[in-house]
Amino acid sequence: MSDELLNLKDVKKYFGLRGAPWRKAQSVRAVDGVNLVVRKGETVGLVGESGSGKSTLARVATRLLDPTQGRVEIGGTDVTRLRGRRLRPIRRQIQMVFQDPQASLNPRQSVGTILSTPYRAQGIRPTRAQLVELLEQVGLAEQHLERYPHEFSGGQRQRIGIARALAMKPGLLVCDEPVSALDVSVQAQVLNLLADLRDELGLSYVLVAHDLAVVRQVADRIAVMYLGTIVEEGPAAQVYEAPAHPYTKALLSAVPVPEPGVSRDRIVLTGDVPTPINPPSGCPFRTRCYKAEDVCATERPVLEPVQGSTEHRAACYFPEPPTSERKQ
Amino acid sequence: MAEPVLEVHDLHVTFSTEGGLVPAVDGIDFAVAPGETLAIVGESGSGKSVSSAAVMGLLPSNADVTGEVLLDGRELIGLPNDELRKIRGNDIAMVFQDALSALNPYYSVGWQVAEAYRLHHDVSKKKAHQRAIEMLDKVGIPDAARRADGYPHEFSGGMRQRVVIAMALVNDPRVLIADEPTTALDVTVQAQIMQLLEDVQAEFGTAMVLISHDLGVVAEVADDVLVMYAGRAAERGTVRDLFYRAAHPYSLGLLGAMPRVDVPPKLRLTTIPGSPPTPGSITTGCAFQPRCAYTDRVGERCITERPELTPRPGEGDHEAACHLGRRPSDV
């Protein structure tokens, strides 16, 4: 078996819009042709602004949504068309952690019941020891089994969400904004927990987040999404230190940095993300891009290696030059 | 510092609830001068939003507010509602986090900005509409004359927040309170809105109180910072005091817990154990003591005696409420 835990091939997800019957049917192109591979042991950060399609992609990857087109391979098996019972063994390999632990935990179930749900879904009766082990993995204890979600703080609730995702001992966790609802001091605890679990259990993550600093803290590899496509992909250090796509560059420059008095070269983008119902022709970013030329409107640029590195790729006709050639 | 336009002294806010009295704000002081920005920083439950709502007289009837809120020396606490209404939106205006719920979906944005103007100015509808268009243009709404007839749902999140800012600034307020103005926005749009706030502040000399949990935003726009924890001030000083000379273990913890986009990641983030206390749960001693890494160095005092803001020797107006008496990073 290869070490590819997840392989998305040209995945598209369109949502049909119900309009008046005499109007032409429209659809939202939430994910518009994405290729992404996640290997064993690595953490891939999926970043982008709202509407970029990152959450939809996460849901397609975990087969919570059916792709409109393309292929989803989990652990080397094509699972695109699997449904119901045949999907069940696949679900053991890939699990999801959601943004809002308040909404993703049933308030009327005790923690013990919540944690035994994944077992029962697989037709297993968990032992108490198994449930306690799960709690201990995320820094909670046996005494918490009988309690209900409202008795916990936000950070603890997110730990319960993570424990539930770990129940089936998956190889890959897809975390959709796992810390964005938490206070800074608690966010750091959860990020450290994710890192610890990765080291202890050899987990892989797909981390979906809008906070670029959070992603930098944990990801090995970054994929930057814009309007349903990946515009840049590469090792975290390279993408953060030498972004090649103008969008990545602008995005990173917009993040405020906790250094008073240090002025930064900020690229302030004008306007908003265009609607995914009718995305621009050619490069999706060209309407806001400071480098756009006529060619950008012709055909959508494909991901191509940057600076001769096959790992680091950007979809741009005018990528930023390598760091060494940039003016100081 | 120039003569402050807004001064708050010993502000207390207590909510009476079914579960008893909840002290949300327990004695804070701050002041802000024209053209200056004061940031109030804290996590959920720290009392930062309640403080600003108290200044505006916007708290529900079960809130008991004591202390002084002085606008140009005039006491606002206890003013009758019709007096307060003349001040709200006119001398002090507010921008909230969620622009969608701050706007009425049934009226065009131009109408709403004009209405805010007409509340405080005796002008014709036509004049007010012109003023609204002028403001919408100023906050960067393209084609403002036409867009003024649009409704909130026709605007993007960033554009809506611009409309709310136009509405807040239409009467040239002396003080602008911005409560997490960019939290709901994407980072590229956040950069636009913060730039806009800085520009209008420079143009009109508005005093700004920025309430935020985002230390990056604070570092970029604030002159002074007040760090709140459990309804009290943990630390107060200039923005450089906080970021380069943090004197309270909580401030230091916050700075260490924040992942950064501009430097390679640390192996582990520094964390503060536990989570922020619910208001009123800690009544004696230092509210941060149960989570504090330095309490062992001080001992009993942290549990028995509540620390007051005390000046840091040789650091101007920099104050911290901590018994440690030294900068935590020096320990």
How far apart CA A283 and CA B315 sit, in angstroms, is 53
- Is residue A33 in a domain? no
Among residues B240, B195, B35, which one has the least CA distance to residue A264? B195
Among residues B135, B152, B214, B205, which one has the least CA distance to residue B179? B214
Q: What is the pLDDT at residue A118?
A: 93
- Is residue B96 in a domain? no
- Is residue B5 in a domain? yes
**Residues of B with Cβ-Cβ distance to A257 under 8 angstroms:** 216, 219-220, 260-262
Same domain? For B281 and B132 the reply is no
Same domain? For B153 and B278 the reply is no
- Is residue A81 in a domain? no
Average pLDDT, chain B: 91
Low-confidence residues in chain A, pLDDT < 50: 1, 327-328
| Contact flag B186-A49 (C-beta cutoff 8 Å) | yes
- Is residue A289 in a domain? yes
- Is residue B128 in a domain? yes
Same domain? For B244 and B307 the reply is yes
Same domain? For B115 and B60 the reply is no
Same domain? For B129 and B67 the reply is no
Q: Tokens 């809120």 appear where? A: B69
Same domain? For B11 and B58 the reply is yes
Same domain? For B39 and B144 the reply is no
Q: What is the pLDDT at residue A325?
A: 54
The boundaries of the domain holding residue A272 are 245-327
Q: What is the pLDDT at residue B5?
A: 96
Least confident of B1-5, B101-105, B268-272: B1-5
Same domain? For B129 and B177 the reply is no
Q: Which residue out of A54, A184, A257, A290 would a mutagenesis test of the B interface target, given it has the greatest number of B Cβ atoms within 10 Å?
A: A184
Same domain? For B35 and B159 the reply is no
**Residues of B with Cβ-Cβ distance to A153 under 8 angstroms:** 275
Bridge partners for A176 per DSSP: A208
Q: What is the pLDDT at residue A101?
A: 76
Q: Are B7 and B70 in contact (CB under 8 A)?
A: yes
| B182: Cα separation from own chain's centroid | 12
User: Would the pLDDT of B19 be above 90?
Assistant: no
Specify the higher pLDDT residue, B260 or B327. Answer: B260
Q: What is the ipTM of this complex?
A: 0.85
- B24 by Cβ neighbours in 10 Å (0-12 / 13-18 / 19+) ranks as buried
Q: What is the pLDDT at residue B185?
A: 83
- Is residue A4 in a domain? no
Q: How many domains does chain A have?
A: 1
- Is residue A321 in a domain? yes
Give the minimum alpha-carbon distance from B122 to chain A in angstroms, rounded to a whole number.
35
- Is residue A110 in a domain? no
For B176-181, what is the mean pLDDT? 93
Q: Could you read off the pLDDT of B268-317 as tens digits, one per residue?
A: 888 898 888 887 787 789 999 999 999 988 889 999 999 999 998 888 89
- Is residue B97 in a domain? no
Of B120, B137, B172, the position where a domain reaches its end is B172
- B294: tokens are 């330095």
Q: What is the pLDDT at residue A328?
A: 40
- Is residue A13 in a domain? no
How far apart CA B204 and CA A182 sit, in angstroms, is 36
Q: Cα dihedral angle (A82, A88, A93, A97), rounded to 10 degrees?
A: 100
The boundaries of the domain holding residue B240 are 1-91+173-331
Specify the higher pLDDT residue, B43 or B238. Answer: B238
Same domain? For B144 and B72 the reply is no
Q: What is the pLDDT at residue A309?
A: 78
Q: How many domains does chain B have?
A: 2
Q: What is the pLDDT at residue A323?
A: 62
- B46: tokens are 């720290």
Specify the higher pLDDT residue, B177 or A26. Answer: B177
Q: How many residues does chain A have?
A: 328
Of B172, B199, B218, the position where a domain reaches its end is B172
- Is residue B310 in a domain? yes
- A48: tokens are 């982008």
| Contact flag B215-A254 (C-beta cutoff 8 Å) | no
Same domain? For B224 and B316 the reply is yes
Give the minimum alpha-carbon distance from A188 to chain B in angstroms, rounded to a whole number.
5
What CATH number is attached to the domain comprising B38?
3.40.50.300
- Is residue A190 in a domain? no
Query: DSSP states of B196-229 as a string?
Result: HHHHHHHHHT-EEEEEES-HHHHHHH-SEEEEEE
- Is residue B148 in a domain? yes
Of B138, B172, B206, the position where a domain reaches its end is B172
Same domain? For B156 and B62 the reply is no
Those residues whose C-beta lies under 8 Å from the C-beta of residue A167, and which sit 6 or more positions away, are A95, A115, A118, A119, A126, A134
User: Would the pLDDT of B23 be above 60?
Assistant: yes
Scanning chain A, the segments in alpha helix (DSSP H) are 54-61, 84-91, 101-104, 111-121, 128-137, 154-166, 184-201, 212-218, 236-241, 246-254
The whole-model pTM stands at 0.89
